[in-house]
Chains A and B, each alone.
Chain A
Amino acid sequence: MKLTLTRRYKFAASHRLHNPELSEQENRALYGKCNSPYGHGHNYLVEVTMTGPVDAATGMITNLGELDPFVQREVVDAFDYRYLNEEVPQFQAVVPTTENLCREIFRRLKKYRAARLERIRIEETGKNSFEYSEEMA
């Protein structure tokens, strides 16, 4: 049997989908209202899934007393109430779609040492969600 532990975190941020290599018209056609030059925002919900052996001394894959401050520092503090395009360096060259957000959050949380990061799942709204993991297809 295999066990994973999933913790949900929330942040609110604004973004704009715009690819500078495309014309204004192409950007509008491709991204629609997400291309609005003033940006727009979402309440993002991030599910962080960790795996690894259950520590016999604690009964835990990882202690939330350790995971929560790590995610707070690496993700929530960096993204909450920010404009992703301008205030997160990685999105100055990459369009902040939720696909790319999944990858960036995975990259940031992968360095967690107390357990192995298995999956990042993000709900951009209650109606859509995106997942990233490094498992082989």
Chain B
Amino acid sequence: MEGAGLPGEGGMIRITRKVEFSAAHFYHNPALSAEENRRVFGKCNNPHGHGHNYVLEVTIAGEPDPKTGMVLDLKELKDILQQEVVELMDHRNLNHEVPELAGKIPTCENIAAVIWQLLEPRITKGKLDRVRLYESPDLFADCTAETNGAGPRA
């Protein structure tokens, strides 16, 4: 066997791993009055918080290694997601227990951006292509590299 990889003809492979975590949050901007907070954030402003089962899909793009046939071993990606995201956010209150989100309103957009920043330096085989965070099946945020020609264009 010459190698485990087939020639790619200039194409690109994307691999995606999914992981779930459950967390509590609420939306509140201390710069706004209590009344404005209620108006802007509605029921998400309840100070007792509420929770979601978040579903995180992380996509890595790259060329398969000719020796292994893999862009990145999914086991390796699973471990990175466990260390960087699940251990940090699972069964936590995102407003109070996650320093990376301190001073930020823990919206789907902001959490996805923080996850991108946590994961990007950890991906050394292939490139982080997309972070998709579902707050519910009907709402998700996507984070992509702006300069990535394969991602949505600005």
Contacts and interface: CB of A to CB of B under 8 A. Distances in A.
Interface of A: 1-9, 49, 51, 54, 57-61, 63-65, 118-119, 133, 135-136
Interface in B27-49: 27, 29, 31-32, 40-42
Interface residue tally of chain B, by bracket? 20 to 34
A136 B154 CA distance: 11
Contacts of A135: 152-153
B70 interface: no
A115 to B, nearest CB: 11
Contacts of A8: 137-139
Given A1-B145, A7-B138, A54 B110 contact: yes
Contacts of B154: 2
Contacts of A118: 152
Interface of B: 27, 29, 31-32, 40-42, 104-110, 112-113, 116, 137-146, 151-154
Contacts of B106: 59
Given A3-B113, A8-B137, A135-B152, A59 B143 contact: no
A2 B141 contact: no
Contacts of B105: 58-60
Nearest to A63: B40
B53 to A, nearest CB: 16
Contacts of B109: 3, 5, 54, 59-61
B108 A5 contact: yes
